[in-house]
């Protein structure tokens, strides 16, 4: 029984950490202030395989699996949550939905450009009336000859304003609704009828562009169907499940960054004639952070291993997201408190971390939904079916 990550993952982490520290961290503050992540940065990441970490090399990916992907998300979120969100949505749910159920031809057509960063991907599920209740979607896809006409709106789509390829769930059979009558389509942003709204103004993740997507009778060739017609909901739920593992890894990175900064500050700052590290209150906060982070690390990488080993992981994935987002929130809150007034200042990264972390408990399935999912898995084992 070996709990160590194999040496290739340590080497991979080292490379990604260097890239994040040298290319991303120095511009993280500017990204938060201006709300712009340079496309050039994404291209640079793509050249190193970072925009396709879990995908096989034959499709232009890095071939590092879920473990490698988690390592990357952890390191990148430490540097900038905005960039990590763009990359995470692009890989973890965007390209992933195509990778899981797309045809070989479709994958060969789009994945190389997506993995190299030449194109950006988005995952479009949420609508104004369908948030946690994803089954309430209404975007319609009507068959017309050899193509489908997509009409409707998607809301709160991460990467919406910058995506070139959008994997969207639409209702193909209204009688069956989302469960059984929905299909996933790969839509290109340059097609007629597709437009995006203004980027949303958010409390945090300023560099991660989010917007409304408008589908005004967009013609989508039937070759661009991902998976099977009518089974799109299954594809998307599968995608969200696996996406949660790497989201857990991202929150791990944020929590770790909070701890590292707090330890350094505890050494630097003195009051009452001694470094604040000598106060038990501070010590206990640091200890709690470290303990929580260690537990999250174990959960995340074990779950990643489950994924890479082809074992069931749905319950654990939900736990990664649930535990990770709550631990990250607690850690970044402690970090703000330890830094005192400086933790409130926009000149320092703790404040940005605090604002950025908040959405983790909400997107990709609110923590309330995660708890329902986990409870469902538990009750299913004793024969009780739960509904939200």
Partner 1 sequence: MDFTLTEEQTMFRDLFRDFAEKEIAKVAEHTDRSEEPPTELFKKAAAQGFFGAPIPENYGGVGIDWLPYTMLAEELGKHCLSTAITVAIHTSLSAMSILDVGTEEQKQKYLPPMASGEMIGAFALTEPDAGSDASSLFTIAEKVDGGYRLNGTKSWVSNGGIAGVFVVFAATDSSARNKGITAFIVDAGTDGVTVGYREKTMGLRGLDIRTVYFDECFVPESNRLSGENQGWEIITRASDRIRLTLAAISLGAAEASLALGVTFAAERKQFGTQIANKQAIQNYVAEVAVDVEALRGLIRNAAWLADTKQDYGRAASIAKFFGARVAQNAANKMLQVHGGYGFSDEYAISRYYRDVRALRILGGTDEMQRFIVARGNFEEKGIKIQP
Partner 2 sequence: MKILVLLKNILDPHGMMINRKAGKVFINKKEWLMNPSDARALEAGLKIKDALNGDAVVIAAAVGDDVTANLLRDAKALGVDRAILIPSKDAPAGRLYTALVNHLGDIDLILTGGSALDTGENIGAQIAEGLNFAFIGGAVKCTIENDVVHVTRKDDPAGRLYNGYDCDLPAVVTFSREAPSLRYAHGGDIIIAYRDKNAVETISADDLGLTDLQPIVVERGQSTPPEREFGKQVSVEEVVNKIR
Annotated catalytic residues are: 364
Residue 117 touching partner 2 (CB under 8 A): no
Instruction: Supply the minimum distance, in Å, between the C-beta of residue 76 and partner 1.
Output: 20
Instruction: Supply the minimum distance, in Å, between the C-beta of residue 258 and partner 1.
Output: 14
Contact mark string toward partner 1, 300..339, x via CB under 8 A? ------------------------------------xx--
Given a contact cutoff of 8 angstroms between Cβ atoms, the answer to whether 97 and 184 are in contact is yes
Pairing mode, if any, of strands 182-188 and 210-221?
unpaired
Q: CA neighbours within 13 Å on the CB side: how many for 331?
A: 33
Residues between 22 and 81 with contacts to partner 2, criterion CB under 8 A: 47-50, 53, 57, 61-64, 68, 72
Residue 379 touching partner 1 (CB under 8 A): no
Instruction: Supply the minimum distance, in Å, between the C-beta of residue 171 and partner 2.
Output: 38
Contact mark string toward partner 1, 212..251, x via CB under 8 A? ----------------------------------------
Choice from 77, 82, 116, 126 touching partner 1 (CB under 8 A): 126
Q: Is 385 left (phi over 0), alpha (psi -120 to 50) or beta?
A: beta
What sign for the dihedral angle of Cα 33, 34, 40, 42? positive
Contacts with partner 2: how many residues (CB under 8 A)?
A: 21
What sign for the dihedral angle of Cα 3, 357, 131, 170? negative
Give kind and range of the element (H or E) at residue 29. helix 25-34
Residue 202 touching partner 1 (CB under 8 A): yes
Choice from 22, 47, 58, 133 touching partner 1 (CB under 8 A): 133
Contact mark string toward partner 1, 69..108, x via CB under 8 A? ----------------------------------------
Choice from 223, 260, 294, 368 touching partner 1 (CB under 8 A): 368
Residue in 337, 369, 332 with CA at minimum distance from that of residue 353? 332
Residue 199 touching partner 1 (CB under 8 A): no
Q: What is the per-residue burial (b if ≥16 Cβ within 10 Å, else e) of 194-211? A: bebbebbebebbbbbbbb
Q: Kindly tell me which of 64 and 184 has the beta carbon lying closer to partner 2.
A: 64
Residue 150 touching partner 2 (CB under 8 A): no
Choose the contact partner of 156 out of partner 2, partner 1, none; CB within 5 to 8 A by kind.
partner 1
Residue with tokens 């692009």: 90
Residue 187 touching partner 2 (CB under 8 A): no
Stretch that binds partner 1, among 78-86, 142-150, 181-189, 197-205 (CB under 8 A): 197-205
Residue with tokens 């949550």: 81
Pairing mode, if any, of strands 121-124 and 165-171?
parallel
Rounded to an integer, what distance in angstroms lies between the CA atom of residue 354 and that of residue 32?
Answer: 12
Instruction: Supply the minimum distance, in Å, between the C-beta of residue 304 and partner 2.
Output: 15
Rounded to an integer, what distance in angstroms lies between the CA atom of residue 191 and that of residue 91?
Answer: 22
Pairing mode, if any, of strands 147-158 and 121-124?
unpaired
Looking at the DSSP bridge assignments, the partners of residue 215 are 152, 194
Choice from 38, 151, 164, 200 touching partner 1 (CB under 8 A): 200
Residue in 25, 17, 21 with CA at minimum distance from that of residue 75? 17
CA 20 from centroid of its chain's CA atoms: 17
C-alpha triplet 15, 288, 353: angle, nearest 5°: 55
Q: Kindly tell me which of 15 and 231 has the beta carbon lying closer to partner 2.
A: 15
Rounded to an integer, what distance in angstroms lies between the CA atom of residue 368 and that of residue 373?
Answer: 9
Residues that bind partner 1 (CB under 8 A): 126, 129, 131-133, 136, 156, 200-205, 270-273, 279, 281, 336-337, 340-341, 343-347, 351, 354-355, 358-359, 361-363, 366-368, 371, 388
Residues that bind partner 2 (CB under 8 A): 6-8, 11-12, 15-16, 18-19, 47-50, 53, 57, 61-64, 68, 72
């Amino acid at each position: 029984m070996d709990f160590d990550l194999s040496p290739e993952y340590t080497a991979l982490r080292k490379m990604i950490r260097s890239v994040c520290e040298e290319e991303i961290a120095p511009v993280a503050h500017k990204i938060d202030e201006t709300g712009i992540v340079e496309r050039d940065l994404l291209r640079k990441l793509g050249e190193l395989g970072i925009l396709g970490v879990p995908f096989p090399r034959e499709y232009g990916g890095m071939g590092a699996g879920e473990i490698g992907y988690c390592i990357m998300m952890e390191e990148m979120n430490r540097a900038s949550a905005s960039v990590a969100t763009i990359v995470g949505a692009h890989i973890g749910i965007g390209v992933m939905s195509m990778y899981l159920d797309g045809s070989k031809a479709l994958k060969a057509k789009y994945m190389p450009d997506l993995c190299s960063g030449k194109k950006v991907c988005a995952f479009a599920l949420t609508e104004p009336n369908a948030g946690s209740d994803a089954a309430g979607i209404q975007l319609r896809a009507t068959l017309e000859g050899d193509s489908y006409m997509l009409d409707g709106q998607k809301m709160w789509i991460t990467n919406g304003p910058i995506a070139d390829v959008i994997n969207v769930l639409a209702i193909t059979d209204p009688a069956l609704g989302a469960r059984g009558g929905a299909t996933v389509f790969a839509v290109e942003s340059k097609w007629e009828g597709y437009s995006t709204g203004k980027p949303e103004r958010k409390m945090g993740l300023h560099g991660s562009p989010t917007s409304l997507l408008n589908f005004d009778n967009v013609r989508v060739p039937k070759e661009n169907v991902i998976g099977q017609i009518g089974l799109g909901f299954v594809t998307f739920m599968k995608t969200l499940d696996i996406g949660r593992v790497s989201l857990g890894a991202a929150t791990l990175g944020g929590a770790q960054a909070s701890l590292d900064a707090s330890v350094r500050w505890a050494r630097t700052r003195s009051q009452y004639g001694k470094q604040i590290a000598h106060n038990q209150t501070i010590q206990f906060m640091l200890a709690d952070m470290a303990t929580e982070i260690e537990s999250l690390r174990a959960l995340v990488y074990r779950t990643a291993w489950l994924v890479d080993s082809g074992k069931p992981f749905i319950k654990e994935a939900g736990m990664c997201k649930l535990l990770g987002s709550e631990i990250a929130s607690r850690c970044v809150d402690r970090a703000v408190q330890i830094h005192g007034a400086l933790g409130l200042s926009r000149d320092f990264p703790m404040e940005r971390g605090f604002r950025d972390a908040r959405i983790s408990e909400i997107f990709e399935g609110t923590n309330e939904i995660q708890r329902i999912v986990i409870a469902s898995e538990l009750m299913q084992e004793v024969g009780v079916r739960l509904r939200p």
